Amino acid sequence: MSKKETANPKEFRNQNHEAKKMNTSENLKKKKDKDLPWWVELLFVQLGLPDKLLIKILKAKKASKELFKNDKKSLIIFLFVITTLAYFYPVIKHAKNKLDCEAIAKDYILKNKKMIGINNRELKMISTNFCYGGEEIYEIENLKN
Does 80 fall in a domain?
yes
**Closest-CA residue to 137 (of 97, 100, 119, 110):** 110
Q: Is the pLDDT of residue 145 over 70?
A: no
Q: How far apart are CA 93 and CA 106, in angstroms?
A: 20
The pLDDT score that the predictor gives to residue 141 is 55
- 129: in domain: yes
Is-contact 133 105, C-beta < 8 A? Answer: no
Which residue from 120, 122, 112 is spatially nearest to 144, judged by alpha carbons?
112
pLDDT band at 87 (very low <50, low <70, confident <90, very high): very high
Q: Residue 45 falls within a domain, yes or no?
A: no
Q: Which helix (H) or strand (E) holds 7?
A: none
The verdict on residue 49 lying in a domain is: no
Which phi-psi region, left, alpha or beta, contains residue 116 (left: φ > 0; alpha: ψ -120 to 50)? beta
Segment 71-80 shows an average pLDDT of 92
96, pLDDT greater than 90? yes
Average pLDDT, rounded, for the chain: 79
Give the percent of the chain with pLDDT over 70: 68
Q: Which domain holds residue 145?
A: 72-145
pTM above 0.95, yes or no: no
Count the domains in the chain.
Answer: 1
Reported as a single tens digit per residue, the pLDDT across 16-62 is 666 665 556 665 555 566 777 888 888 888 888 898 999 999 999 99
Q: What is the pLDDT of residue 79?
A: 94
| Spatial separation of the C-alpha atoms in residues 96 and 94, rounded to whole Å | 5
Q: Are 123 and 106 in contact (CB under 8 A)?
A: yes
Q: Which amino acid is at 127?
A: S
